[in-house]
């Protein structure tokens, strides 16, 4: 191709300038979008944990202060006026410390860095009831991520629930690594998918799976093996020492 032909085929200088400007603007937009997305991810997976942990710790401290006051004379086993929490869940395999447990599983409850017991679609039993399934939910990522390490829990591991006057010690006996989020049978009073067919005193932990999604649910089941009265020093059960 001759020099004259190449000059004729090349885009005008003005067009090249416009294209360069467009590409530069596009690059800046993409960088900005990337920064915004990065900040959103940091907020969702880190900062919401910080805020939730602060809120849960403050609420937990308040409840423990209430527990130091004389117990109401009319309170039955576990019937405690905790003003927002029924006790604390301890799962050593999760390495998540103590988890405040409140009533309900709505997002505005779980977002405060707590676990909630189901009030619907299947009403949870409470640990001090003679029979039933103490069924709980908590976030796996963000907002405290209290059940993030649920996959570390194995058969034979301990789950301990602490109230003002009693330690409830459960032993894990089954897990379901993935099921539909619409599968409410897993929190039935007798959770037959766990292998149990008769009434008992069960505990069920539920959370989202896979990690960073809410497509399915991950389930862990345990059964009460004993209770211990809380002494004056609140000595931990052997499973928590």
- Domain count of the chain? 1
Residue 178 half-sphere exposure toward CB, CA atoms < 13 A: 7
| Catalytic residue flag (residue 14) | no
10 within a domain of the structure (yes/no): no
* CATH code of the domain containing 165: 2.40.260.10
3 within a domain of the structure (yes/no): no
29 within a domain of the structure (yes/no): no
166 within a domain of the structure (yes/no): yes
pLDDT in tens, the chain (241 residues): 555 455 555 556 566 677 666 666 666 665 665 555 544 444 456 778 888 899 999 999 999 999 988 765 544 444 444 456 899 999 999 999 999 999 999 999 999 999 999 999 999 999 999 999 999 999 999 999 999 999 999 999 999 999 999 999 999 999 999 999 999 999 999 999 999 999 999 999 999 999 999 999 999 999 999 999 999 999 999 999 9
Q: What is the pTM of this model?
A: 0.80
Give φ, ψ of 66 to 5 degrees: -65, -35
30 within a domain of the structure (yes/no): no
218 within a domain of the structure (yes/no): yes
Catalytic residue among 138, 158, 176, 208: 208
156 within a domain of the structure (yes/no): yes
16 within a domain of the structure (yes/no): no
Q: Which domain holds residue 218?
A: 48-240
């Amino acid at each position: 191709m001759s020099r004259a032909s190449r000059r004729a085929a090349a885009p005008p200088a003005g067009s090249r300038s416009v294209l360069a400007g467009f590409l530069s603007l596009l690059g800046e937009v993409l960088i900005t979008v990337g920064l915004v997305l990065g900040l959103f991810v940091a907020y969702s997976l880190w900062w919401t944990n910080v805020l939730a942990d602060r809120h849960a710790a403050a609420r937990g401290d308040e409840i423990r202060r209430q527990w130091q006051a004389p117990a109401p004379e009319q309170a039955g086993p576990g019937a405690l006026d905790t003003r927002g929490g029924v006790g604390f869940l301890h799962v050593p395999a999760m390495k998540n410390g103590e988890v405040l447990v409140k009533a309900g599983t709505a997002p505005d409850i779980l977002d405060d860095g707590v676990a909630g017991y189901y009030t619907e679609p299947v009403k949870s039993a409470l640990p001090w009831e003679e029979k039933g399934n103490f069924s709980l939910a908590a976030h796996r990522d963000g907002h405290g991520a209290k059940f993030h390490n649920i996959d570390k829990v194995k058969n034979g591991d301990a789950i301990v629930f602490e109230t003002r006057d009693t330690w409830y010690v459960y032993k894990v006996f089954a897990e379901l690594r993935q099921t539909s989020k619409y599968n409410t049978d897993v929190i039935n009073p007798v959770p037959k998918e766990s292998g149990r067919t008769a009434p008992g005193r069960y505990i069920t932990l539920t959370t989202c799976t896979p990690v960073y999604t809410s497509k399915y649910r991950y389930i862990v089941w345990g059964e009460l093996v004993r209770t211990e009265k809380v002494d004056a020093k609140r000595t931990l059960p052997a499973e928590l020492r």
